[in-house]
A = this chain, B = another copy of it.
Amino acid sequence: MPIVTIQVTREGSKPGNDAVTADEKAQLIAGVSQVLLDVLNKPLAATFVVIEEVDTENWGWGGLPVEAYRKQLAQKPG
């Protein structure tokens, strides 16, 4: 009876996408359910998966909203 919760920012994974697609969500669900089956022998039918999409302004990293933090990282000299 595992429960897997996946929190990601509400963004596309490729140019042209502005959100996680339904197909990507299906792949996430299939993938993590399979991991639970492979590692702990949990039947697929016993695993729940919940995907939570979080607006980028609601996600913080480095003490900043994530988009501001990414810009800061990108500007750092190597």
A residues whose Cβ falls under 8 Å from a Cβ of B: 1-9, 13-14, 20, 22, 24-36, 38-42, 44-45, 47-54, 57-66, 68
Copy number in the complex reads 6
Cβ contacts A to B, 18 pairs, < 8 Å: A1-B8, A1-B48, A2-B6, A3-B6, A4-B6, A8-B40, A22-B65, A27-B35, A28-B40, A28-B60, A29-B60, A29-B63, A33-B60, A33-B63, A34-B63, A50-B58, A52-B54, A53-B58
B6 contacts A48, C-beta separation under 8 Å: no
Interface secondary structure of A, over-half rule: mixed
What's the Cα separation between A8 and B49 when bound, in Å?
Answer: 12
What's the Cα separation between A65 and B50 when bound, in Å?
Answer: 10
